[in-house]
Each structure stands twice: as structure tokens, then as C-alpha cells.
């Protein structure tokens, strides 16, 4: 038996765990699939590319990895020098400054700087490279968050619909857990646990990819990641975005939950078509775009971007919109609680 | 409401559009009793149970269950009530051990040790998902969970529907052996009267949303008589029902002494099925004060 204080916290954690168990497949498989694709891309890139370059800045500056010759002896490695000149591996190694500071793993040691008499090398470790790592971090996160939004959209309906469809709602209701607590747990799971799981997947992918690049290239990217403030800021921004998603998508998630809790059938279709129908009706009847504008403004990420750029003044115009979104989400959640109480089964 | 009664329902009304599912339904379930709510399909049994469980609101009447208003206090009510419905409602995607974790996590009256002990008597593997269990195993699992809850009242809605004879027998054995102790009560609905006849202490017949008979089994044995006689025999009036069978004409009496019927034919105590059939066919069956005798006991 537990004390009343325990009964306030333990069930809520249990409810979140239940949501996780029910929907973990939807949370684990998509990120796992993306990670598998990333790893496959790395492997295929290594095996089939004639000249493998680690293009960290994602622009036009490439740095070749001499260590690749350990794996691909036939690979042609070149070194980017100043004035658009390239040096072959043996020429590069022969350069006086390089010969003394050559890293056994095949790279130029970060501390090594060419002598003044030697033409400046293209492989330089400077602040721009840190930006490159940050770009890579962000680029790796994009597919995850894109898939996350799709997953959240469908989950928002299924968290309240599936239990009605398979009648397990009668079992959940046979336990001393109210509808309000159940709906709030589902919303918390959707809005914060789901993105948090994705964030973990993003971090894992970043580590794997950077480890791979670190292994293949002459750059100690993991050391950079651990010591670079830029890398941590990027990670912090991603975490901020992860937490922001719950507020950003709150009205849409709550809408999906409401439809799942109330619809007699085809909830996904209703959740998508009903707003569309209302938007068209509003346009035809009143010649206004209030609903459409609300959705577009709510989906805008401008507020988030401005917040992280530190431009507080630029954030203010968006606060009203976000508050309206949160308010609408609260209304939808109240309606979802009301519906779950009344419409147990399909 | 007296604290002796775990359920007290007076004049319950529930409408679904033009259909009146409960039409002034009355029910009293005293503590420590096993009450059978018996009626044909569509008679309002499940609607009544849902109202009792707080799953459905009412359009009229007064209902108190375990000192709670079920619709307003469902969460608190469920701390004292356990429920098994007619078909499998356990989440099929969940593993058995996760389900036990869940029950332990949310139910303050759940005894995990007891649940595991009960489960160990069955062939249910805790590592399996519920969807992989047979229907019989799912019922065993559900029963193990429910019996591990320290509930005042167990509500069963056609719990053995779809089970074979062996499982049905085991089900009621477990129920009587592991649940019924102290002042715990059971409310069970079924249309299979014979199946539960031997476990009941009280019976309520429901027809068209109304309770048409509410008696204890002891009262039925004491107060009801069946007279089987030839078609032309003159019999005393005031019978509850009359029907023709292969043995002759059967008259059902309540409150008539054996001496009044002596010499007119074969006299015996009617079984529940006969009483049920009479109640469903005849408008003349008296709606008795529910469990009057029990309450005064």
C-alpha cells in the first residue's frame, strides 16, 4: 500500500511508462531507420568513392583524408594547398613542416603549422571548422525532427483512439485513474517525452557520425565536440527546440487527441479534413483567412529562432500567437477529457 | 444509504435517443452477498453495470456505490471496485509482467505478491504479450489481477462468455475461493442462469430496463412453489405464472403454503430458470422490495 503522497506521483509516472510501452515502436523504429541510413551512407561513401573527402563546411572547401589510404590503398588522396593548388600524398609528406609533425593516424597534428617558407595548407583547424561541425550537427538533426513531427501527428490521434478501438479503455478505466490525469499524461508524453526520445536519438547519431569521421579523417572531431563551446551551443539549441516542440505543436496535438477521443470512426481523416473544410468554408462564406493564418503563424519557427538569437524585442510579436495556441490547446484538452469520459468504445 | 449496502440504486433511468435502456431500475447489493443480475439480451444489464461503474451517466434516479457517486467520483470508486467485462479488454500489446507493474503503479489496493501467486497457478507466462494468450488464459490473467485488488465489490459482466466448460468451472471456483471473504460482494450479470445459480445468494431479474424480481435464494426456496397438475384441475388463484409443459400445466406461486396446494399435483421448489422464464413471460410477477429480508438480517 502506498501513502496518499505517493499516489499523486507514482501513477503519473506509471501512466507515462504505459504510453511509452504502447507507442515505443513508433518512437524507436523511425530514428533507428534514419541512423541505419546514415551509417549505410558512411559505409558506401567509404567503399565506393574514388576520392573521399570530408566536407565539413558543406560548402566548397574540401579536406582530404590521408588515413583513408589505410582502408582504400587505391584511393587518390590529395591535399588542398593555397592558390587552388593540390599536392599528392607523397609531395605533401615531403614538405618540411609536415614531415616533422605528421600524425601517426595519417593526419596533420592540430598543433602543426607549416613554416613560413612553405605554402599555407588548406587543412587548417580554425574557428570555421568548428562552424562546420555545428552545421553537421544541425544537418544530422533535421531528418529526425522532420520524422518526429510526422510521428507526433499520427500519435496524437492514436493515443486516444487505439484504446477505444481495442476496448482496452475499459481496462484502463477499471483502475483508479481519472480521465483528466490520463489525458494529461498522454499530452505530456506526446509533447515532451516523444521529442526527448528523438533528441537522444539525434545525440547518439551525432556521436556515431563524428566518431566515424574522426576515424576516417585527420581531424579529432570528438575532441572538438567536447571542448568546443560552439558545439555545445548547437546541442543546447537542439535541446531547446526539443522542449519547444510541445508548445509549438500544442494545439495540433490536442486537436488530434480530441478527435481520437470523440470520433466514431476514421479519426485521422476527420482530424485532417475538418480543419481543411472549416478553412475553405470560412474563405467562401466570410472571405477571411483567420483559421489559415492562425495555422501558418502557429507553425512558424520565427519565435524560436529569434529567442535563440537573443533578440528579445523580435520575440514579443509572436508571444500573443503562441499564447493563443496554448489556450486553444487547453480548450481541446478539456474537450478531450470530456469526450474520453463519455465515449468509451467505438 | 446504509453502509451495509455496497450498491443502492433507486429509479435509474437511461435513454439512448428514443430507446429507454433503464426505466426506473432498482437494485440493492448488500455487503457480503453474491447477486446475480439476470435478464435476456437487451434487457439493460450492461447499461446498469456501466452506470454502476461510472462509465455511463444517468438521465434520472439515485445511485450510490461504495459511498460514491459513480459518475462524479469514478477514480475514487475504482479503488474499491474491480471489474471484468464480457469480452477481453486487456491491452493486447502489453506484456503480462508490464500489466502487473501497471496495476501496482496505479492501484493503491493492489497486492503484487498475491497476483503473482495466483498467476503461478495458471499456465500464463509473465513474459508473453497478452495478445499471444488464448481467451481462457486472458480471463485467468484478468481474474488474477482482479483478485489481487482489495476491493469491496467485484462486478462481472458475462465474464465467462466464449469460454469452454472447463474454464468456466475454474473461473467460479477461483472466484468463490479467492475473492469471497469478509464483507466483499459480487455483482454478476449473465443470461446463462444455470451457470451461476449455484454461486448466488441473491438474484435480480431485469426486463426492459426494470427490475421485475429481486429476492434472496433463501427466500425463493422458502416462498416459491411450483405446482404441476392436469389441465382440468381447479387450482387456487394468485399464481405468478402458468405455462404448459410435457408434464402438464405448471403454476408458480409465491407466499402460498404447501398445504394449500397439497393433493392438486406435484409440488416442488422452482429452480432459477423456471422462475426466470416465468418472470420474463408474465406481466403478473410481483416486483418485490429488493433484499428486504437480507437488510433486516
Measure B103 CA to nearest chain A CA, in Å: 8
Q: Do A7 and B76 touch (CB under 8 A)?
A: no
Q: Which residues contact A73 (CB under 8 A, 6 or more apart)?
A: none
Strand blocks (E) in chain B: 5-16, 19-30, 34-38, 60-65, 81-84, 153-157, 185-190, 202-207, 210-216, 224-229, 241-245, 248-254, 266-268
Measured CA distances, A178 to A19, A268, A294, B177 (Å): 15, 25, 32, 31
User: How many other C-beta atoms can be found within 10 angstroms of the C-beta atom of residue B196?
Assistant: 23
Q: Which residue has the cell 427466500?
A: B219
Rounded CA separation A255/B122 (Å)? 43
Q: Do A176 and B107 touch (CB under 8 A)?
A: yes
User: Which pLDDT score is estimated for B280?
Assistant: 81
User: Which pLDDT score is estimated for A312?
Assistant: 72
User: Which pLDDT score is estimated for B85?
Assistant: 84
Rounded CA separation B26/B9 (Å)? 5
Q: Which residues contact B26 (CB under 8 A, 6 or more apart)?
A: B9, B10, B11, B12, B211, B214, B287, B290
Q: Do B91 and A168 touch (CB under 8 A)?
A: yes
Nearest residue on chain A to B85, alpha-carbon basis: A170
Is the confidence at residue B34, as pLDDT, over 70? yes
Give the best residue of B59, B66, B86, B89 to mutate against chain A (max A CB count within 10 A): B89
Which residues in chain B have Cβ-Cβ distances shorter than 8 Å to A173? Answer: 53, 55, 74, 78
User: Which pLDDT score is estimated for B265?
Assistant: 87
> What is the mean pLDDT of the segment spanning B214-233?
86
Q: Is the pTM of this model over 0.95?
A: no
More confident residue, A256 or B288: A256
Q: Do A174 and B53 touch (CB under 8 A)?
A: yes
Report yes or no: B91 at the A interface, CB cutoff 8 Å.
Answer: yes
Q: Do the Cβ atoms of A257 and A271 come closer than 8 Å?
A: no
Measure A153 CA to nearest chain B CA, in Å: 21
Length of chain B: 297
Annotate A334-343 with b (16+ C-beta within 10 A) or e (fewer).
ebbbbbbbee
Nearest residue on chain B to A178, alpha-carbon basis: B75
> What is the mean pLDDT of the segment spanning B252-277?
86
Q: Do the Cβ atoms of B272 and B224 come closer than 8 Å?
A: no
Long-range CB contact pairs, B49-55, < 8 A, 24+? B49/B155, B49/B157, B49/B187, B49/B189, B51/B9, B51/B12, B51/B14, B51/B22, B52/B7, B52/B9, B52/B27, B52/B155, B52/B187, B53/A173, B53/A174, B53/B77, B53/B81, B53/B83, B53/B155, B54/B78, B55/A170, B55/A173, B55/A344
Per-residue pLDDT tens digits for B117-139: 999 988 899 999 999 999 888 98
Q: Do the Cβ atoms of B224 and B285 come closer than 8 Å?
A: no
Q: Which residues contact B192 (CB under 8 A, 6 or more apart)?
A: B158, B160
CB-CB: which of A10, A22, A344 is closest to B93? A22
Which one-letter DSSP state was computed for residue A190? I
Which residues in chain B have Cβ-Cβ distances shorter than 8 Å to A10? Answer: 105-106
Per-residue pLDDT tens digits for B161-178: 777 787 788 788 888 887
| pLDDT band per the 50, 70, 90 thresholds, residue B231 | low
Please report the DSSP string for B9-70 in residue order.
EEEEEEEETTEEEEEEEEEEEETT-EEEEE--TTSSHHHHHHHHTTSS--SEEEEEETTB-T
Is the confidence at residue B156, as pLDDT, over 80? yes
Distance of alpha carbon B119 from the chain centroid: 25
Q: Do A173 and B82 touch (CB under 8 A)?
A: no
Q: What is the ipTM of this complex?
A: 0.87
Nearest residue on chain B to A14, alpha-carbon basis: B105
CB-CB: which of A21, A167, A177 is closest to B89? A167
Measure B136 CA to nearest chain A CA, in Å: 17
> What is the mean pLDDT of the segment spanning B141-154?
91
User: How many other C-beta atoms can be found within 10 angstroms of the C-beta atom of residue B244?
Assistant: 9
Rounded CA separation A102/B187 (Å)? 84
CB-CB: which of A168, A170, A178 is closest to B75? A178
CB-CB: which of A21, A170, A176 is closest to B106? A176
Give the best residue of A19, A21, A172, A175 to mutate against chain B (max B CB count within 10 A): A175
CB-CB: which of B85, B101, B105 is closest to A170? B85
Which one-letter DSSP state was computed for residue B189? E
The three three-digit cell numbers of residue A272, written as one number: 485532417
> What is the mean pLDDT of the segment spanning B9-25?
94
Measure B269 CA to nearest chain A CA, in Å: 39
Measure B7 CA to nearest chain A CA, in Å: 17
| pLDDT band per the 50, 70, 90 thresholds, residue B3 | low
Collapsed DSSP state (helix, strand, coil) of residue A281: helix
User: Which pLDDT score is estimated for A329?
Assistant: 97
Closest CA to B179 of B122, B120, B106, B111: B111
Q: Which residues contact A16 (CB under 8 A, 6 or more apart)?
A: A185, A188, A189, A193
CB-CB: which of B78, B88, B108 is closest to A174? B78
Q: Which helix (H) or strand (E) holds A53?
A: strand A53-54
Q: Do B106 and A15 touch (CB under 8 A)?
A: yes
Rounded CA separation A172/A22 (Å)? 13
Per-residue pLDDT tens digits for B50-61: 999 999 999 999
Domains along chain B?
31-48+74-208 (3.40.50.300), 218-281 (no CATH)
Measured CA distances, A220 to A4, A35, A212 (Å): 54, 22, 11
Mean pLDDT over the full length of chain B: 86
Q: Which residues contact B106 (CB under 8 A, 6 or more apart)?
A: A10, A11, A14, A15, A175, A176, A177
Provide the residue-wise pLDDT of chain A in tens; the chain has 346 residues: 455 445 555 688 999 999 999 999 988 899 889 988 888 887 776 666 544 343 333 333 334 444 434 334 444 444 444 444 445 555 555 555 444 444 444 444 444 444 333 333 333 334 555 556 677 778 888 899 999 999 999 999 999 999 999 999 999 999 999 999 999 999 999 999 999 999 999 988 888 887 777 776 666 767 777 777 777 888 888 898 898 899 889 999 999 999 999 999 999 999 999 999 999 999 999 999 999 998 988 888 877 777 767 677 777 777 888 889 999 999 999 999 999 999 887 7
Closest CA to B97 of B105, B108, B107: B105
Closest CA to A175 of B35, B91, B179: B91
Amino acid at each position: 500500500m502506498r501513502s496518499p503522497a505517493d499516489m499523486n506521483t507514482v501513477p503519473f509516472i506509471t501512466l507515462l511508462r504505459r504510453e511509452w510501452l504502447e507507442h515505443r515502436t513508433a518512437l524507436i523504429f523511425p530514428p533507428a531507420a534514419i541512423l541505419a541510413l546514415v551509417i549505410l551512407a558512411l559505409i558506401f561513401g567509404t567503399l565506393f568513392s574514388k576520392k573521399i573527402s570530408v566536407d565539413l563546411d558543406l560548402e566548397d572547401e574540401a579536406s582530404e583524408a590521408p588515413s583513408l589510404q589505410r582502408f582504400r590503398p587505391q584511393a587518390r588522396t590529395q591535399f588542398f594547398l593555397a592558390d587552388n593548388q593540390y599536392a599528392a600524398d607523397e609531395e605533401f609528406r615531403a614538405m618540411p613542416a609536415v614531415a616533422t609533425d605528421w600524425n601517426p593516424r595519417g593526419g596533420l597534428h592540430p598543433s602543426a603549422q607549416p613554416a613560413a617558407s612553405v605554402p599555407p595548407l588548406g587543412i587548417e583547424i580554425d574557428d570555421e571548422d568548428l562552424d562546420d561541425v555545428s552545421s553537421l550537427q544541425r544537418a544530422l538533426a533535421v531528418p529526425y525532427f522532420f520524422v518526429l513531427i510526422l510521428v507526433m501527428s499520427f500519435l496524437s490521434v492514436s493515443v486516444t483512439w487505439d484504446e477505444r478501438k481495442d476496448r482496452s479503455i475499459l481496462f484502463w478505466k477499471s483502475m483508479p485513474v481519472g480521465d483528466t490525469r490520463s489525458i494529461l499524461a498522454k499530452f505530456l508524453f506526446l509533447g515532451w517525452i516523444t521529442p526527448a526520445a528523438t533528441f537522444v536519438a539525434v545525440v547518439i547519431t551525432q556521436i556515431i557520425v563524428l566518431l566515424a569521421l574522426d576515424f576516417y579523417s585527420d581531424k579529432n572531431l570528438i575532441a572538438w565536440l567536447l571542448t568546443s563551446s560552439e558545439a555545445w551551443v548547437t546541442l543546447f539549441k537542439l535541446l531547446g527546440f526539443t522542449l519547444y516542440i510541445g508548445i509549438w505543436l500544442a494545439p495540433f496535438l490536442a486537436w488530434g487527441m480530441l478527435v481520437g477521443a470523440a470520433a466514431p470512426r476514421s479519426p485521422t481523416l476527420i482530424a485532417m479534413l475538418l480543419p481543411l473544410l472549416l478553412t475553405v468554408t470560412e474563405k467562401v462564406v466570410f472571405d477571411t483567412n483567420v483559421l489559415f493564418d492562425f495555422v501558418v503563424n502557429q507553425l512558424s519557427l520565427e519565435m524560436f529562432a529569434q529567442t535563440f538569437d537573443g533578440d528579445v524585442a523580435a520575440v514579443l510579436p509572436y508571444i500573443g500567437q503562441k499564447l493563443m495556441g496554448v489556450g486553444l490547446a487547453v480548450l481541446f484538452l478539456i474537450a478531450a477529457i470530456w469526450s474520453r469520459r463519455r465515449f468509451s468504445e467505438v | 444509504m446504509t453502509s451495509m449496502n455496497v450498491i443502492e440504486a433507486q429509479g435509474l433511468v437511461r435513454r439512448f435517443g428514443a430507446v429507454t435502456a433503464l426505466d426506473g431500475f432498482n437494485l440493492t447489493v448488500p455487503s457480503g452477498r453474491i447477486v446475480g443480475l439476470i435478464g435476456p439480451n437487451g434487457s439493460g444489464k450492461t447499461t446498469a453495470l456501466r452506470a454502476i461503474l461510472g462509465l455511463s451517466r444517468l438521465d434520472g434516479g439515485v445511485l450510490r456505490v461504495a459511498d460514491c457517486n459513480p459518475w462524479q467520483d469514478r477514480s475514487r470508486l475504482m479503488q474499491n471496485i474491480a471489474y471484468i467485462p464480457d469480452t477481453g479488454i486487456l491491452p493486447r500489446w502489453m506484456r503480462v509482467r508490464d500489466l502487473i507493474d501497471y496495476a501496482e503503479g496505479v492501484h493503491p489496493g493492489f497486492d503484487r505478491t498475491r497476483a503473482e501467486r495466483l498467476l503461478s497457478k495458471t499456465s500464463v507466462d509473465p513474459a508473453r504479450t497478452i495478445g499471444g494468450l488464448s481467451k481462457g488464459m486472458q480471463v485467468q490473467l484478468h481474474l488474477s489481477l482482479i483478485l489481487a485488488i482489495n476491493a469491496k465489490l467485484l462486478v462481472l459482466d458475462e465474464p465467462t462468455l466464449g469460454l469452454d466448460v472447463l474454464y468456466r468451472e475454474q473461473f467460479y471456483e477461483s472466484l468463490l475461493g479467492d475473492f469471497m471473504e469478509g464483507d466483499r460482494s459480487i455483482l454478476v450479470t449473465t443470461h446463462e442462469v444455470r451457470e451461476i445459480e449455484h454461486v448466488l445468494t441473491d438474484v435480480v431479474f431485469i426486463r426492459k430496463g426494470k427490475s421485475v424480481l429481486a429476492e434472496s435464494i433463501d427466500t425463493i426456496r422458502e416462498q416459491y412453489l411450483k405446482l404441476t397438475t392436469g389441465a382440468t384441475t381447479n387450482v387456487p388463484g394468485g399464481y405468478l405464472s402458468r405455462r404448459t409443459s410435457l408434464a402438464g400445466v405448471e403454476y408458480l406461486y409465491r407466499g402460498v403454503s404447501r398445504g394449500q396446494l397439497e393433493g392438486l399435483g406435484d409440488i416442488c421448489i422452482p429452480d432459477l430458470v423456471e422462475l426466470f422464464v416465468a418472470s420474463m413471460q408474465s406481466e403478473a410477477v410481483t416486483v418485490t422490495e429488493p433484499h428486504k429480508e437480507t437488510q433486516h438480517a
